[in-house]
Structure 1
Amino acid sequence: MSNLTTDADTAHFDLPSDRGEGHGRSPLRWLLLAAGLAVAVALPWFVYPPIAMDILCWALFAIALDILLGYCGLLSFGHAAFWGGSAYATGLVAVHYGVPFPLAVLAGMLFAMTIAVPIGYLSVRATGIYFAMVTLAFAQMIYFIANQWRDVTGGENGLQAVPKTFFGIEAVETEAFYFYYAALPMILLGMWAAWRIVHSPFGRVLVAIRDNSPRARALGYDVERYKVIAFVLSAGLAGLAGGLFAISHGFVSLQEVNWTTSGKVVLMTVLGGIGTLWGGAVGAGFIVQLEDYMASSGFEGIGIVTGSVFVIVVLLFRRGIWGTVAHLVSSRSTRSAGRRG
């Protein structure tokens, strides 16, 4: 027990003081926040708007996964179930009820959280690779249902002609550029919710569970309950991203619930940096832009390139892109503070 970290003790005694203090007032944090907002607002001016929307959706998806992977230590290979499940639910609501797309997306998000409750409850009892395999199995079940329930989902033909209804505002409903700015607040709210989750007492307990589950349990925390809640919250944010992705494309295919989608978001999260939260956004931007560039160039071996990039980053930057930069900045700040001291 001598090598246990103090995260659980911190979660138990010191977390209330973490609200609005220290890190939250760091000038560097505010500067990075302002830079991130500026990039999000300016993105469709420099990137083809549908691609810019894809970047934001995948960024939120990767951030959602990082809540589970980076802060809870649970690797899910089944998050496509929530991304794709929400995409189908959002599309069906939009097609059959004609409601404004924010309401359809919220319906998809609720659907993702609903199916995440039994999946999470059964999955968190496993650990390590067994947890990953259980989540993958459940995701494949969702894929099978989507493929076989053709009268509802369209099967292999997918769900087509998903409308971008938005209170009768034609510019948003027909132009990808304006749709981007209509959807941007929902993405930003999702990212803010993720930040709030990991910087709350609840988030610090998740870190304690990740670092040493028996110690957290000994302190009186219901470990399985915390994991299930984290699983459902992560699924909800993934569902928010998947719903917006479906509305943006006006189409939902089986690809959204395929296991390759789960693998792709894990790739993005690892590339950006596990446990950094914003690293997922960096990884998403990099992968989406790289895939778009190669597809536009007519290159067919996209998987080979992205796989090679993944191997290089894992070997040379084990903390990921954002994680490595953050570590270097933190180390430099610590050395500077030591010299001043």
Structure 2
Amino acid sequence: MDIACWALFAAALDLLLGFTGLLSFGHAAFWGGAAYAAGLIAVHWGVPFPVAVLGGALFAAVLAVPIGYLSVRLRGIYFAMVTLAFAQMVYFVVNQWRDLTGGENGLQGVPREFFGMDLSDPFFFYYAGLPFVLLGLFAVWRIVRSPFGRVLVSIRDNPARAQALGYPVERYKLLAFVLSAGLSGLAGGLYAISHGFASLHEVYWTTSGQAVMAVVLGGIGTLWGGAIGAALIVELNDYLATAGFTETGLVTGGIFVVIVLVFRRGVWGTARDLIAARAARRSPAAGTDSAAAQVEAPDRQEVTAR
């Protein structure tokens, strides 16, 4: 379930980073904000967990409107720093509002209510929550494949030309920012319901960094590469934690450096390019064989006729 949630989180961030060209270090605010929102809805209202998860996603999307409106006017490192500053503001509010969020203790005892069904077993909850992840991934794929996604790519490559063609660049960036935040919130809310609690770590800036690392490891702009990067990070952290190794950031950071230096397109991006190059090398040979077969065909027909 952790891999599925982080895969959706990485895909949502890749929608903004890989297809819009905006590097955000503040997506922990939407992941963690939705985690707390979904947990509070489930605790105080006792609604089924799908309602709580969707409520968390809606909260993340609404939170992204003012943040995105003030951030998309900036570019490059300035955009990244402003989103990081807003995320730290959300972290401060969550930490100080102890009566509501639990402060340093986090929000505990989040139920998994689903019309009286017992979903306390992670095995059953996995199959109950997986459709939300698949729905979110399908939404990202559909956005990228739509005309709206093509405009986002044009803005990423040449915003001045997109503006000259009549597209409101800042409005498209804001909409992409809100969609990315909402999908990140969907993943964060499901993550909190799955674990039964929401902690301050969910809104801390390192969570944004881990999501960015998953996208870079898998391949920026590949969409599905983020899922591979998320699986690698989650499995590696789990393995190191169970082995008693405390400095997990040292190992993951070293792997990140190696990937950036050796596989600049990420794991999935590099594999895709290698497959495409191999197919391109084979295609001329295949074309030559087919041409030779066409030349030999009349001779074979003549021999058969004789």
TM-score, normalised by the number of residues in structure 1: 0.83
> Deviations 1:97-153 (Å, cap 9, x if unpaired)?
111101000000000000101111110000000000000011011001101111111
- 1:136 is aligned to 2:136: no
Residue aligning to 1:275: 221
- 1:249 is aligned to 2:186: no
Residue aligning to 1:6: none
Residue aligning to 1:159: 107
Residue aligning to 1:100: 48
Shift of 1:301: 1.4
Shift of 1:333: 2.1
Counterpart amino acid of residue 286 in structure 1: L
- 1:215 is aligned to 2:161: yes
Shift of 1:330: 1.6
Secondary structure (helix, strand or coil) at the match of 1:72 reads coil
CA distance in 2, matches of 1:333, 1:218: 38
Counting only pairs closer than 5 Å after superposition, residues 1-341 of structure 1 correspond to structure 2 as 53-170=1-118, 173-341=119-287
CA distance in 2, matches of 1:56, 1:205: 28
Secondary structure (helix, strand or coil) at the match of 2:18 reads helix
Counterpart amino acid of residue 134 in structure 1: V
Counterpart amino acid of residue 243 in structure 2: S
CA distance in 2, matches of 1:188, 1:338: 39
Runs of 4+ in 1 over 4 A off after TM superposition: none
CA distance in 1, matches of 2:278, 2:157: 26
Shift of 1:167: 1.2
CA distance in 2, matches of 1:338, 1:236: 46
CA distance in 2, matches of 1:139, 1:121: 15
> Deviations 1:278-337 (Å, cap 9, x if unpaired)?
000000000000000010000111010000000011111000001101111122223333
- Higher radius of gyration, 1 or 2: 2
Shift of 1:166: 1.1
Question: How many residues matched?
Answer: 287
CA distance in 2, matches of 1:296, 1:338: 51
Counterpart amino acid of residue 40 in structure 2: L
> Deviations 1:212-236 (Å, cap 9, x if unpaired)?
1001111110000000000000001
Counterpart amino acid of residue 81 in structure 2: M
CA distance in 2, matches of 1:326, 1:167: 44
5+ residue gaps, structure 1, are 1-52
Shift of 1:340: 3.5
CA distance in 2, matches of 1:128, 1:338: 42
CA distance in 2, matches of 1:334, 1:191: 30
CA distance in 1, matches of 2:285, 2:89: 57
TM-score, normalised by the number of residues in structure 2: 0.93
CA distance in 1, matches of 2:281, 2:177: 38
CA distance in 2, matches of 1:339, 1:70: 35
Counterpart amino acid of residue 240 in structure 2: M
CA distance in 1, matches of 2:258, 2:284: 33
Counterpart amino acid of residue 187 in structure 1: V
Residue aligning to 2:293: none
Q: Percent identity?
A: 70
5+ residue gaps, structure 2, are 288-306
CA distance in 2, matches of 1:186, 1:130: 33
Counterpart amino acid of residue 319 in structure 1: R
CA distance in 2, matches of 1:338, 1:142: 57
